[in-house]
A and B are shown apart, each in its own frame.
Chain A
Amino acid sequence: MKTNREMVCIVCPNGCRLNVFVDEQNRVTRVENALCRNGRTYAEDEVQCPKRSLTSTVKVKGGTHPLVSVRSSKPIPREKLQEAVDTLRVLELTAPVDFHQVVVSDILGTGADIVTTRQIAKAR
């Protein structure tokens, strides 16, 4: 059955309100209202397998701060977000922590690495 879905593109702050046409095989046939080509890619992902960037924190021992912020190197399937955060919850790094240091490679087999997004120096 052919359907059309409305969705908000979250790729950039423009937040285009996409009108997405999907065919019987769940393939995107047409995307309306996208200001750029990213809208189409987003719509395709959203229809087949919604992906989200993951950002969270990881515990740091002996640092100037108790946490370091982290991100996924690329978006991961949305349904794996919670499991990924739960995975990070039990980790602990030791200061100093470097910028873009890899904390977990290929988290949950998604192909995305978890990397730090700031440095944490050793506490005095």
Chain B
Amino acid sequence: MTANTDNIFDIVIVGAGAVGCAVARELSGFDLKIAVLEKESDVAAGTSGRNSAVVHAGFNNKPGSLMAKLCVEGNEGFEKVCSQLDVPYKKTGKLIVAFDESDFAGIDQLMENGRKNGVKGLEFVDAHTVKKLEPHVGGIGAMLSPNTAITSPFIYTVALAENAAQNGVEFYFETEVNGISKRDGLFRLTAGKRHFFSRYIINSAGLYSDRIAALAGDKGYEIHPCRGEYFILDKRTSQYLNMPVYPVPRPGLGGLGVHLTPTVEGNILIGPSAEYIKSKSDYSATKGVMDQLFKEAKELLPALEMKHIIRSYTGIRSKLVGPKTGGYGDFIIEESGVVPGLVNLIGIESPGLTASVPIGRMVRDIIAGREELVPKKDFIAERKGITPFRELTLEQKEKLIKECPEYGEIVCRCEGITKKEILDAINNPLGVTTLAGIKYRARPMMGRCQGGYCLTRIVDILKEQKGIEPEQVTLRGNNSKLFTGRVK
């Protein structure tokens, strides 16, 4: 295939995680032809969709680091982005709880870090206040971070991508880049039999960012995958927790320690563990870690019971520091020194979600430093999400059903999701029709029955709406077929 107007872009972004989509959205404000290439079947399929869903305040990160700077910036602007893009956001605050005297030193350190990083509002609260804020959590004192918030990382990434798409960005899923060459100032990215040409490559490939850099000729990086496992608890437990509750981090740990986080939907997350692994795609949950997670979480919240667990999931951190060093490195956000036009976003682990929009702005500035960027006159800054029927008043519900009777058909019993919401999810602007895509957009199959009631109905709707036969339905694209055929 040769270059033509269809496959020549100004910018190709590799990786449709939160960072890649935030970059896409930022750059879609300018007169640029942009493509996002993603090896999986949807956005947020890697680390972006598999984390604690916390909008961090920025006190954990080393003063002077990019992580600290962009996290604080990201936290400040997050609410606005969420309101523009119709993304769930809740400023819950967060507690770092001390369980014995030795933890106080760690809290002092965090307060000091926070001050240096410009984090506002951090304060030490005594056991009495902890009890008041979180009656079910123990502890002898805590640091309260009032600006920490929670969001839905998946919806957030979808929203960024949809808004970018509204502004002309093209998304290519199941498109794994396996070759990059450069001729006459133009990159050629090969994905199987397809080719994409561009003047710039934004390497936001997360766990695989080292590989993409190397394909382009920049061989100096190594990402160390570090797995974290989580449990999701039944919504009935939401009464036990108002805000994220973390232990004081232990030095050298690859993460922040097992913590409890309420989700914007009303569940509780337990996790994550931190375990360096060899494979970047091994999302297995393991018995030993699962047992340990529950044990540690129960120390934080004694009311927990095994029967509250409805699901587990795992995420993999893309760390620049290996197991020997431990702790955190810093984000790399820069144009490659050896491959001009390649902008590397490497080592974007936590707080990458929080920092994603500022990262997008940094990328914009890098490009603006090389050429003049012309703002798009007709840029659309807002995006509307799926209306959550369950959260409306009876009057609003009645009105919606009148306008559209499909709001009156509850497809998912546990989460109260209507057929209209499922249809909106199926007809998403990115054209994703996988079961996971529908699940993360509209939340069916996310409740305590995990699809026992609604899976069959969604299979029917896919056929009815998109003509997708059951044997074509996939969980996450590629070969993840749900069924093997017809009975007869």
Q: Which residues of A contact B (CB under 8 A)?
A: 57-59, 67, 88-90
Tell me how many residue pairs across A and B have CB atoms closer than 8 Å. 9
Bound-state Cα–Cα, A57 to B487, Å = 9
Give the distance in Å from the alpha carbon of A88 to the alpha carbon of B488 in the complex: 9
Complex: chain A residue closest to B486, CB-CB: A66
A–B complex contacts, Cβ < 8 Å, 9 sampled = A57-B487, A57-B488, A58-B488, A59-B488, A67-B487, A67-B488, A88-B488, A89-B488, A90-B488
**CA of A67 to CA of B488, assembled, Å:** 9
Q: A57-B488, A59-B488, A67-B488 are known; give 6 further A-B pairs, CB within 8 A.
A: A57-B487, A58-B488, A67-B487, A88-B488, A89-B488, A90-B488
Instruction: Give the residues in chain A near B488, CB-CB below 8 Å.
Output: 57-59, 67, 88-90
What's the minimum C-beta distance from A84 to chain B, rounded to whole angstroms?
Answer: 13
Complex Cα distance, B488 from A57, in Å, reads 9
Within the complex, what minimum Cβ distance (angstroms) separates B211 from chain A?
45
A-side interface mostly: strand
Taking the closest CB of chain B, its distance from the CB of A105, in whole angstroms, is: 20
- Give the distance to chain A from B309, nearest Cβ to Cβ, in Å: 33
Contact with A along B467-488 (1 / 0, CB 8 A): 0000000000000000000011
Separation of A67 and B487 alpha carbons in the complex (Å): 10
Report the minimum CB–CB distance from B461 to chain A (whole Å).
16
Residues of B within 8 A of A58 (CB): 488
B residues lining the A interface (CB < 8 Å): 487-488
Q: How far is the CA of A90 from the CA of B488 in the complex (A)?
A: 7
Q: Which residues of B contact A89 (CB under 8 A)?
A: 488
Least distance between A67 CB and chain B CB atoms (Å)? 7
Residues of B near A67 (CB, < 8 A) are 487-488
Residue of B nearest to A66 (CB): B486
Query: Shortest Cβ distance from B383 into chain A, in angstroms?
Result: 37
B487 CB contacts on chain A under 8 angstroms: 57, 67
Tell me, in angstroms, the Cα distance from A114 to B488 when the chains sit together: 17
Residues of B within 8 A of A57 (CB): 487-488
In the assembled complex, how far is the CB of residue A92 from the closest CB belonging to chain B, in whole angstroms?
9
Residue of A nearest to B470 (CB): A66
**What is the CB-to-nearest-CB distance from B4 to chain A, in angstroms, rounded to a whole number?**
45
Residues of B contacting A88 with CB < 8 Å?
488
Complex CA distance for A3 and B487, rounded to whole angstroms: 42
Return B406 CB to nearest CB of chain A, in Å. 17
The 6 closest A-B pairs by CB, nearest first: A89-B488, A59-B488, A57-B487, A57-B488, A67-B487, A67-B488
**Complexed CA–CA distance, A98 and B459 (Å):** 27
Contacts of A90 in B (CB 8 A): 488
Select from chain B the residue with minimum beta-carbon distance to A90. Answer: B488
Measured CA separation A67–B470 after assembly (Å): 15
A57 to B486, CA, bound (A): 12
Shortest distance in angstroms between A2's beta carbon and chain B's nearest beta carbon?
A: 46
In angstroms, Cα B485 to Cα A89, docked, is 14
Distance, CA A58 to CA B488, complexed state (A): 8
- How near does chain B come to A123, taking the closest CB pair, in angstroms? 12
B222 to chain A, nearest CB (A): 53
Give, as a whole number of angstroms, the nearest-CB distance from A93 to chain B. Answer: 12
- Docked pose: A58 CA to B487 CA in angstroms: 10
Least distance between A60 CB and chain B CB atoms (Å)? 11
Question: How long is the Cα–Cα vector from A90 to B486 in the complex, in angstroms?
Answer: 12
Q: How far is the CA of A89 from the CA of B488 in the complex (A)?
A: 6
In angstroms, how far is the closest chain A Cβ from the Cβ of B158? 33
Cα of A59 to Cα of B487 in the assembled complex, Å: 9
B215 to chain A, nearest CB (A): 47
B462 to chain A, nearest CB (A): 15
Residues of B with C-beta under 8 A to A59: 488
C-alpha spacing A88/B487, complex, angstroms: 11
Min C-beta distance of B459 to chain A, whole Å: 12
Cα of A68 to Cα of B487 in the assembled complex, Å: 12
